[in-house]
Structure 1
Amino acid sequence: MHYLNTDAQIIMFRDMLNSEIYVDKSSLIQKITPLIRTNAKYVCITRPRRFGKTVNANMLGAYYTKGYDTHELFDDLNIAHTDHYESHINRYNVIHIDFSVFPDFCDGYDVYLKNILRKLQEDLRETYPALKGREYGGISEMLSDTKDSFIFILDVWDSVFSEKYVTEADKIHFLRFLKTMLKDRPYVDLAYMTGVLPIAKYSSGSELNMFWEYNFMNDQVYEEQFGLTEDEVKQLCTKYDTVSYEDLEWWYDGYLMSDGRHLFNPRSVNRALTDGVCKNYWTETGPMNEVADCIENNVEEVREDIVKMVSGVPVEADLSGYSAAEQELYTRDEILSAMVVYGFLSYHDNCLKIPNHELMEKFQRVLSRDSMGEVKEIVDRSKEMLAATLACDADKVAAILEDVHDREIPFLMYNDENSLSCVITLCYLYARKDYRIEREEKSGKGYCDYLFIPRKRGVPAIVLELKVDDSAENAIRQIKDKKYVQRVESFGNVILTGISYDRKHKKHECIIEKISLID
């Protein structure tokens, strides 16, 4: 058997349970089960890669599939304590198709789809002998002739859409295939579908409009089941004690639920706890290159937004109504909504931000692309800026800032407080290789504008304070009076950097002092 009532999902879910790190998400079953045989039986969950879609799809398959006894997998999970646990476990015919599995040497859409249809037809004829010897014009006719009903679990429905050989006509054909198999069919007990791309924009007509779609921008129902909550991560840290919660939070937190609670990237947290080290586990595969290409083609639309978000400044945008499913994006809102869908940005209360350090590293690379124009030129000088700061060359630092300001990039013209912060971010972008840079962080008796916290010993920390229409001398005095070095004094050597900008004379001033706190 290939798709119908197989033990494949049972095996894969058992492997997950046997893994060193597993977080119980079986409450999803409690949410999905009441939808069976109702008008709400069509559910589509769209999330970025690495957010547990396949794990949950395997869990549903392992729970519902008839012909097996999977109590041993679920008796210790939360679902076992619900009223309807026994009523539904192993009670359904389940057709589970992972659309990301391609036949060997697949070189065309026809080969891909015919392989799926062949396997499903073989399964149906083997399970329902009355179908043997009959010819059918479509899979829906075969399913109807079984005189039975099915739960459909269709994982990563959109996988084929990213293949280069798939045409727009192929996409339309695939949507119609799903529609014909699922829509208004009495044999459908439940259709649970997952993907990265929302179906709403692809299916702008009536193809799949029966699905209730839940994505990162509109989901208030299943949001806790895809991602790790703060409490879950804290419990994992207590149990495994390989990395600190604070490090996991900085690296992988930042996705927000509808009520403002935080979600962590589950795959990255799992890898960090298993390996005992926090680093960038976001693989290079996937849609990031596509989004970056769209930025290149629409750089004027989104360049300012990206610079602001890399600087830690949230960007306001009303993305309601955007499903961001198209591969070719043209407007600012389409590009930004695509970044939310792909998990590169978090979106809450009409505000966009880069979720965490893991994604921040990706966006920093975007600023170095040729398409960013003068922004790239500023970034290219950021190595020189760091070297001048470490050498206590205050005149050089001021000169670089003057050069940036003289370029007359509109959003870097110090029209507001955030503009100067954006300039500092660009000019010190290279420093992020060796430093964890924090803005407006509590230190000593106040909040320092910038703390450059070394990633390794032997590198001096940097405390940077900005002043507008004030003096760099007062910036240095504030660092000392409010004891901003307190957060970084353990590193021994600290470089105090005061930068001021005189709006009347349009001049920058810089003072740098190096202090040693080593006895």
Structure 2
Amino acid sequence: MKRLPIGIENFKELIDHKYYYVDKTMFIQDVCNEKVILYTRPRRFGKTLNMSMLYYFFSIRQKENAYLFNGLEISKCMDVVSYQNQFPVIFITLKDMKNSSFDKQLVMFSLLIQEIISNHQELLTSDNINSIEKERIARLYRGVQNEVELQNALKFIVSCLYHHYRKKVILLIDEYDVPLQNAYLNGYYDEMVNFLRNVFSAAFKTNDALEKGVLTGCLRIAKESIFTGLNNFRVISIFDEISNQRFGFTQSEIDMMLQDYQRKDYQKQMKEWYDGYQFGGCDIYNPWMP
């Protein structure tokens, strides 16, 4: 009997260690139909795991892990499989941007930029990137707290990856709203909104090097305050039917799990403990154990 993946957020770890997995890979097809998307869901509904899944599916650097999707639903969609491991991918999470001041948040964002470059050190020696761009990459890698430079750092790295691989880039940002929540609680909300507005505008708006952008979070921040000017931007919330079964578990998935673990007699308790959500008209169970 397979172990339950309690707290596992890395798709490769989940599959390699043969944890029980409720197949959500058709989420990949949903993403393929959009340009820049924000998915909002409550906490503990598998957002990070789904983003990890997107990374392993699309990343050009994960071709050796293509087997992770063998036998899963998405492997039957040949039009989508043609995109597998075809793009440079940046995958970051803003979950640790929980600082008490705006200056500390800039330091944390600078560390995220350093981490991206650390994961893509091929940019430092690429023949497709000129010396001026390499100097700028090296400066970002050493760490900068210049607000304007940090606002444009993501777009710049996306551009460099595009030049290096000659392929457009997919940008995945998990828990985009965490820095905004903490800014609100600590009295620097306007500064944080302005900073992230400029980051997202630079990275997602009229960026010729961008193939696709996906963001996740718990909250929908007003488009007018943070996503100004993103004409190709779409929010998919709990009220939308699109992707309404991709986060959390449906009734049929719960029934299958109870059958697999020979616990069908717990059906009533499962409904009492974990049911109660509706996403796009579909009853959804929260997968997190209390």
TM bucket, shorter chain: 0.7 to 0.9
Q: Which residue of 2 aligns with 1:151?
A: 170
SS of the residue 2:90 aligns to: strand
Q: Which residue of 2 aligns with 1:237?
A: 258
Cα 1:266/1:152, change in 2 over 3 Å:
same
Structure 1 CA distance for aligned equivalents of residues 18 and 93 of structure 2: 22
Alignment of 1:47-126 (within 5 A): 47-68=41-62, 69-102=64-97, 108-123=104-119, 126=122
The one of 232, 238, 242 aligned to 1:210: 232
Q: Which residue of 2 aligns with 1:28?
A: 27
Contact 1:175 1:207 survives alignment (8 Å): no
Which one has more relative contact order, counting CA pairs under 8 Å at least 6 apart?
Answer: 2
The share of aligned pairs that are identical, in percent, is 25
Task: Give every structure 1 segment of 4 or more consecutive aligned residues whose post-TM-superposition deviation is greater than 4 Å.
Answer: 102-107, 121-125, 134-137
Q: Which residue of 1 aligns with 2:247?
A: 226
Structure 2 CA distance for aligned equivalents of residues 205 and 191 of structure 1: 13
SS of the residue 1:92 aligns to: coil
State the 1:204 CA deviation. 6.3
State the 1:30 CA deviation. 1.8
State the 1:142 CA deviation. 4.7
Q: Which residue of 1 aligns with 2:211?
A: 189
Structure 1 CA distance for aligned equivalents of residues 195 and 99 of structure 2: 22
The one of 6, 13, 16 aligned to 1:15: 13
Contact 1:26 1:77 survives alignment (8 Å): yes
Q: Which residue of 1 aligns with 2:6?
A: none
Structure 2 CA distance for aligned equivalents of residues 128 and 91 of structure 1: 21
Q: Which residue of 1 aligns with 2:4?
A: none
Cα 1:157/1:72, change in 2 over 3 Å:
same
The one of 128, 133, 147 aligned to 2:135: 133
Contact 2:57 2:84 survives alignment (8 Å): yes
Contact 2:245 2:282 survives alignment (8 Å): no
The one-letter code sitting in structure 1 at the alignment partner of 2:24 is: K
SS of the residue 2:172 aligns to: strand
The one-letter code sitting in structure 1 at the alignment partner of 2:268 is: E
Contact 1:227 1:264 survives alignment (8 Å): yes
State the 1:47 CA deviation. 0.4
* TM-score, normalisation: structure 1: 0.45
Contact 1:182 1:188 survives alignment (8 Å): yes
Structure 1 CA distance for aligned equivalents of residues 98 and 118 of structure 2: 16
State the 1:70 CA deviation. 2.0
The Cα offsets for residues 259-294 of structure 1, whole Å up to 9 and x where unpaired, read as x43111122xxx3xxxxxxxxx1xxxxxxxxxxxxx
Structure 2 CA distance for aligned equivalents of residues 61 and 255 of structure 1: 27
Structure 2 CA distance for aligned equivalents of residues 123 and 90 of structure 1: 17
State the 1:167 CA deviation. 3.2
Mark the runs of 5 or more structure 2 residues left unpaired by the alignment: 1-8, 141-148
State the 1:183 CA deviation. 1.1
Contact 1:256 1:262 survives alignment (8 Å): yes
Contact 1:152 1:191 survives alignment (8 Å): yes
Contact 2:201 2:227 survives alignment (8 Å): no
Structure 1 CA distance for aligned equivalents of residues 122 and 98 of structure 2: 21
SS of the residue 1:244 aligns to: helix
Cα 1:99/1:19, change in 2 over 3 Å:
farther
Structure 2 CA distance for aligned equivalents of residues 44 and 102 of structure 1: 19
Higher-strand-fraction structure: 1
Cα 1:152/1:15, change in 2 over 3 Å:
same
Structure 2 CA distance for aligned equivalents of residues 53 and 92 of structure 1: 21
Alignment of 1:150-299 (within 5 A): 150-163=169-182, 164-165=185-186, 166-201=188-223, 203=225, 206-208=228-230, 210-217=232-239, 219-242=240-263, 244-258=266-280, 260-267=281-288, 271=289, 281=290
Contact 2:59 2:85 survives alignment (8 Å): yes
The one-letter code sitting in structure 2 at the alignment partner of 1:206 is: T
Q: How many residues align?
A: 253
State the 1:181 CA deviation. 1.7
State the 1:100 CA deviation. 0.9
Structure 1 CA distance for aligned equivalents of residues 217 and 243 of structure 2: 14
Contact 1:42 1:191 survives alignment (8 Å): yes
Cα 1:188/1:205, change in 2 over 3 Å:
closer
SS of the residue 1:70 aligns to: helix
State the 1:208 CA deviation. 4.3
Q: Which residue of 2 aligns with 1:409?
A: none
Contact 2:11 2:49 survives alignment (8 Å): yes
Mark the runs of 5 or more structure 1 residues left unpaired by the alignment: 1-10, 272-280, 282-519
Structure 1 CA distance for aligned equivalents of residues 227 and 82 of structure 2: 37
Contact 1:157 1:195 survives alignment (8 Å): yes
SS of the residue 1:108 aligns to: helix
SS of the residue 1:26 aligns to: coil
Cα 1:179/1:201, change in 2 over 3 Å:
closer
Larger radius of gyration: 1
SS of the residue 1:54 aligns to: helix
Q: Which residue of 2 aligns with 1:386?
A: none
